[in-house]
């Protein structure tokens, strides 16, 4: 199970199966089914407890064991996805990587031997670092007390942090001029965030500042 | 030894071609010509399908491949490239790129110049084969026609560019059509009733653009070497006297776009007529020659009439050139599936793309099949991309990753480049 959660990025909550109360609309599977593990290595070295009695869900189409697959990239594509056009969005993502790479590689090939080691050229590393730099660690939750709404600072979970970072980057892209293509917008945002600059990182700092200002309401938090 | 074997190959080739020309049955002639490139090629220099090359480095190829560092060659002059250099990259100085390849380069190749800060082309079998035959050809005869064909993205255009670079270094006069297919497709409004021929059409914008490139490429020849043989009248007041340099004719076309298409006809006619004088060697290079033999263009007249290709003067002039009724030169062509308009494009073979009419027009020609990368070429391309930081993922550099990429791209140069773009 540990492997499967890693590859899906979902929580592995097992619910009690009650035939009368199980919702059928949103799940094709009973809770006894486990998600498939998409990792060739684990099948080869026998680390996976292959047990006939445990039923396994059908494999998902867009998760592969190829080295080009990355869970975080996959998540970003899903967040960016609109109207089910995942293929288009994946292409946008690839194009983004290409733009980032050609920009950085050009710098690399022009730089002197001394500067070369300090330049990061891998687009995927830049993407990861950019998302990491955009993640807020604290957020605000609205709580109603005595007819008044209070913005109460609260720590965020990992999933929420990651989602907010991705959402802010995409919202920042929406503000850019329409004539600019999406891959270019994204490439610019990632490179900015990678260097700890840009509006998204500023937005993160703004949120942190707001939390700091509202620390007087922290006692409203009961959880 | 290579020279003699090549001459032998040429002789056999010519008898084949003659036989093919006599033969009226299309299918048999096609088979005859086909063997020139694959079967008749002598076993020693370009190995037919195997990747081992009979050279001193044959001993090295027995070593495990990942240790290879010889994906580059220091021989930067394509005139000297032989089968010994197959699968290696040669470098063109960045400053020379605009003069050597002003037009007609592959777009993806050109895009990589900026990040790589370097222009290099892989030396591949079709280009080396054609250059070898060109080296030993008899130029007092009519030009030999070489036709490169292959799947999409297999490197036809890059091979053509490689050959053109060697012609450029030898000081040939190059008449280059960057892409004949795009003439039919990419101009919707560029047509004009022909000045000289009623019922036909000129393409002023495309013609003057072509003339501009032609002028900058061959200015040296046009200024001094070639003179007009007779007087040409463009309008009541404008005319070019006999004995003036051909440059004045070209400039007429550039100054008056209305005359540009007729100017192309005059220029090509003068080049044809004077080719036997031996002052210049004429190389006609055409990318996507099937565009000239296509049926329809994308140009629609206001009434709704779609102009067919055989009513275009410019295509007509170049088709006349392709007949090969001149000497001291060569014709190098490719057939291309890209940008075909209302034409069958599901097969890459010449007979399919040129159709019967075009095939008979070009016959006899030497078909050269441009294959996907061989194992050695793929490895060399991989090494080149890694050295240029174009492949960055560590998993891609492993043996398993290479196999994976090879499977994904089918060793096709174009798709391999596309897949590597995001790694």
- Token pair of B259, please? 């005359």
Residue range(s) defining the domain that contains residue B320: 101-106+138-369
How far is Cα A85 from Cα A90, in angstroms, rounded to an integer? 9
Q: CB B404 to CB A105 under 8 A? A: no
Burial readout A31-64 (b: 16 or more C-beta within 10 A, e: otherwise): eeebbebbeeebeeeeeeeeeeeeeeeeeeeeee
Q: CB B422 to CB A121 under 8 A? A: no
Chain A environment of B423 (Cβ under 8 Å)? 68, 97
Beta bridge partners of residue A151, listed in sequence order: A142
Tokens 């070009």 correspond to B362
What pLDDT, in 10s, does the model give residues B258-308?
888 889 999 999 888 888 888 888 999 999 998 889 888 888 888 888 888
Q: CB A109 to CB B401 under 8 A? A: no
Residue B60 lies in a domain: no
Which has more confidence, B323 or B343? B323
Q: Note whether A167 and A107 are within 8 A (CB).
A: no
A212 in reach of chain B (CB within 8 A):
no
What pLDDT, in 10s, does the model give residues B76-113?
888 888 888 888 999 999 888 888 888 888 888 999 99
How far is Cα B48 from Cα B38, in angstroms, rounded to an integer? 7
A35 in reach of chain B (CB within 8 A):
no
Nearest chain A CA: its distance from B153 CA (Å): 19
A33 in reach of chain B (CB within 8 A):
no
Q: With pLDDT > 90 as the criterion, what percentage of chain A qualifies?
A: 54
Residue B410 lies in a domain: no
Residue B343 lies in a domain: yes
Q: CB B390 to CB A101 under 8 A? A: yes
Residue B221 is classified by DSSP as I
How far is Cα A83 from Cα B126, in angstroms, rounded to an integer? 46
Q: CB B392 to CB A110 under 8 A? A: no
Q: What are the structural domain ranges in chain A? A: 26-67, 70-220
Q: How far is CA A139 from CA A136, A157, A209, in A?
A: 7, 10, 10
How far is Cα B286 from Cα B115, in angstroms, rounded to an integer? 29
Q: Which helix (H) or strand (E) holds A192?
A: helix A182-194
How far is Cα A150 from Cα A216, in angstroms, rounded to an integer? 10
Tokens 């060793």 correspond to B411
Q: Note whether B83 and B128 are within 8 A (CB).
A: yes
Nearest chain B CA: its distance from A39 CA (Å): 15
Chain A environment of B396 (Cβ under 8 Å)? 67
Q: Where are the alpha helices (DSSP H) in B23-174?
A: 26-38, 97-100, 107-116, 125-135, 156-169
How far is Cα A159 from Cα B164, in angstroms, rounded to an integer? 57
CATH of the domain at B212: 3.40.50
Average pLDDT over residues B228-232: 86
Residue A181: closest CA among A93, A82, A62? A93
Closest chain B residue to A104 measured between Cα atoms?
B115
How far is Cα A99 from Cα A104, in angstroms, rounded to an integer? 9
How far is Cα B161 from Cα B102, in angstroms, rounded to an integer? 11
What pLDDT, in 10s, does the model give residues B332-351?
999 988 888 776 678 888 88
Nearest chain A CA: its distance from B114 CA (Å): 6
In a mutagenesis test of the B interface, which of A106, A113, A115, A128 is the best target, namely the one with the most B β-carbons within 10 Å?
A: A106
Which has more confidence, B45 or A18? A18
How far is Cα B162 from Cα B168, in angstroms, rounded to an integer? 10
Given a cut of 50, whether residue B46 has pLDDT beyond it is no
Confidence (pLDDT) at B39 = 36
Helix B413-420 crosses helix B107-116 at what angle (to 10 degrees)? 40
Closest chain B residue to A183 measured between Cα atoms?
B422
Helix B313-322 crosses helix B350-362 at what angle (to 10 degrees)? 80
Chain A environment of B422 (Cβ under 8 Å)? 68, 93-95, 97-98, 101, 123
Q: CB A97 to CB B395 under 8 A? A: no
Closest chain B residue to A102 measured between Cα atoms?
B115
Which pLDDT band holds residue A14 (cuts at 50, 70, 90)? low
Chain B environment of A122 (Cβ under 8 Å)? 392-393
How far is Cα B375 from Cα A216, in angstroms, rounded to an integer? 68
Q: CB B423 to CB A105 under 8 A? A: no
Q: CB A106 to CB B390 under 8 A? A: no
Q: CB A101 to CB B422 under 8 A? A: yes
Which pLDDT band holds residue A25 (cuts at 50, 70, 90)? low
Q: How far is CA B226 from CA B100, B139, B248, in A?
A: 22, 19, 11
Q: CB A66 to CB B404 under 8 A? A: yes
Closest chain B residue to A126 measured between Cα atoms?
B392
pTM: 0.79
Nearest chain B CA: its distance from A195 CA (Å): 20
Beta carbon pairs, A and B, within 8 Å: 52
Among partner residues B111, B115, B392, which is closest to A109 by beta-carbon distance?
Answer: B115
Confidence (pLDDT) at B190 = 81
Chain B environment of A95 (Cβ under 8 Å)? 422
Q: Where are the alpha helices (DSSP H) in B238-393?
A: 246-255, 260-273, 313-322, 350-362, 375-387
Nearest chain A CA: its distance from B100 CA (Å): 23
Nearest chain B CA: its distance from A185 CA (Å): 16
Q: Which CATH architecture has domain A70-220?
A: Orthogonal Bundle (1.10)
ipTM reported for the complex surpasses 0.90: no
Given a cut of 90, whether residue A31 has pLDDT beyond it is no
Q: CB A124 to CB B392 under 8 A? A: yes
Average pLDDT over residues B126-143: 90
Instruction: Tally the residues of chain B.
Output: 423
């Amino acid at each position: 199970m540990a492997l499967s959660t890693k590859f899906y990025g979902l929580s592995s909550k097992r619910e009690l199966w009650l035939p009368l109360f199980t919702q059928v609309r949103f799940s094709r599977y009973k809770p006894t089914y486990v998600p498939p593990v998409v990792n060739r290595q684990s099948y080869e070295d026998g680390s996976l407890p292959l047990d006939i009695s445990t039923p396994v869900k059908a494999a998902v189409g867009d998760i592969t064991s190829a080295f080009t697959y990355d869970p975080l990239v996959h998540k970003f594509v899903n967040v960016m996805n609109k109207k089910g056009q995942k293929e288009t969005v994946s292409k946008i993502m690839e194009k983004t990587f290409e733009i980032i790479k050609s920009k950085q590689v050009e710098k690399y090939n022009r730089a002197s031997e001394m500067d070369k080691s300090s330049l990061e050229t891998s687009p995927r590393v830049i993407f990861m670092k950019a998302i990491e730099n955009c993640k807020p660690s604290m957020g605000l939750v609205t709580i109603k007390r005595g007819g008044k709404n209070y913005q109460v600072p609260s720590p965020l979970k990992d999933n929420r942090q990651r989602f907010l970072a991705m959402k802010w980057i995409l919202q920042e892209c929406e503000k850019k001029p329409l004539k600019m293509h999406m891959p270019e917008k994204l490439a610019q945002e990632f490179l900015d965030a990678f260097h700890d600059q840009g509006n998204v990182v500023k937005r993160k700092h703004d949120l942190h500042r707001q939390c700091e200002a509202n620390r007087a309401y922290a006692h409203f938090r009961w959880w | 030894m290579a020279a003699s074997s090549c001459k032998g190959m040429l002789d056999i080739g010519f008898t084949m071609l003659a036989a093919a020309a006599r033969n009226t049955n299309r299918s048999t002639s096609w088979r005859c010509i086909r063997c020139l490139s694959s079967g008749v090629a002598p076993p020693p220099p370009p190995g037919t399908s195997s990747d081992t090359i009979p050279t001193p480095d044959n001993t090295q190829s027995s070593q495990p491949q990942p240790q290879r560092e010889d994906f580059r060659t220091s021989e930067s002059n394509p005139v000297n490239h032989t089968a010994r250099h197959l699968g290696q990259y040669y470098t063109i100085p960045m400053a020379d790129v605009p003069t050597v390849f002003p037009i007609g380069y592959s777009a993806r190749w050109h895009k990589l110049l900026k990040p790589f800060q370097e222009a290099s082309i892989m030396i591949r079998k079709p280009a080396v084969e054609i250059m070898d035959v060109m080296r030993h050809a008899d130029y007092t005869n009519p030009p030999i026609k070489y036709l490169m064909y292959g799947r999409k993205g297999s490197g036809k255009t890059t091979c053509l560019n490689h050959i053109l670079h060697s012609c450029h270094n030898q000081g040939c006069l190059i008449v280059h059509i960057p892409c004949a297919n795009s003439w039919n497709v990419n101009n919707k409004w560029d047509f004009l009733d022909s000045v000289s021929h009623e019922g036909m059409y000129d393409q002023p914008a495309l013609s003057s653009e072509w003339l501009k490139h032609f002028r900058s490429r061959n200015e040296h020849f046009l200024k001094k070497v070639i003179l007009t043989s007779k007087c040409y009248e463009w309008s009541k007041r404008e005319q070019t006297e006999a004995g003036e340099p051909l440059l004045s004719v070209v400039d007429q076309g550039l100054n008056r776009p209305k005359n540009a298409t007729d100017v192309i006809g005059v220029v090509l006619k003068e080049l044809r007529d004077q080719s036997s004088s031996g002052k210049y060697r004429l190389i006609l290079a055409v990318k996507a020659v099937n565009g000239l033999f296509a049926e329809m263009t994308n140009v629609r007249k206001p009434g709704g009439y779609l102009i067919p290709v055989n009513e275009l003067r410019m295509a007509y002039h170049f088709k006349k050139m392709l007949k090969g009724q001149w000497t001291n030169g060569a014709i190098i062509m490719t057939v291309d599936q890209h940008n075909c308009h209302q034409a069958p494009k599901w097969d890459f073979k010449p007979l399919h793309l040129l159709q019967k009419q075009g095939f008979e027009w070009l016959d006899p020609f030497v078909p050269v099949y441009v294959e996907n990368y061989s194992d050695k070429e793929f490895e060399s391309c991989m090494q080149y991309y890694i050295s240029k930081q174009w492949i960055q993922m560590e998993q891609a550099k492993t043996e398993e990753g290479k196999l994976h990429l090879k499977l994904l791209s089918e060793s096709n140069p174009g798709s391999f480049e596309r897949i590597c773009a995001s790694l």
